[in-house]
Amino acid sequence: KQEVTQIPAALSVPEGENLVLNCSFTDSAIYNLQWFRQDPGKGLTSLLLIQSSQREQTSGRLNASLDKSSGRSTLYIAASQPGDSATYLCAASRGSEKLVFGKGTKLTVNP
């Protein structure tokens, strides 16, 4: 059974800081690793998807990496801004099967 863990549960940083969010998973037989952002009271916004054949994906100030052998993914946020404050969730899946989510990291970026 796949289990996904995210560390830390909460993170508070000053504006402009670079930061890393961590995600680990127990079953390395995944097809995709997807990172989401969730604002309070809102649904999930897909940020990045890394296929099992890839090692990283980049979108703007975001960079996500995947190491299947160690069961880890990281989300790197460069030059953080107050608008980046949200909960970040990672999820692993095997193709079209269900996403298995971590509990998320709540990020606060202070002006």
Partner 1 sequence: EAGVVQSPRYKIIEKKQPVAFWCNPISGHNTLYWYLQNLGQGPELLIRYENEEAVDDSQLPKDRFSAERLKGVDSTLKIQPAELGDSAVYLCASSQTSGTSVPNEQFFGPGTRLTVL
Q: Is 31 helix (H, G, I), strand (E, B) or coil?
A: coil
Among 81, 103, 108, 110, binds partner 1 (CB under 8 A): 103
Alpha helix segments (H runs only) across 4-109: none
Q: Given the rule CB under 8 A, which of 14-22, 28-36, 62-70, 73-81 is the region that contacts partner 1?
A: 28-36
Note whether 42 binds partner 1 by CB under 8 A. yes
Amino acid, single-letter form, for residue 10 = A
Q: What are phi and psi of 79, to 5 degrees?
A: 45, 65
Site for partner 1 in 48-77 (CB under 8 A): 49, 51
35/98 Cα distance (integer angstroms) = 14
Contact residues: partner 1, CB under 8 A: 4, 31-32, 34, 36, 41-46, 49, 51, 89, 91, 93, 95-99, 101-104
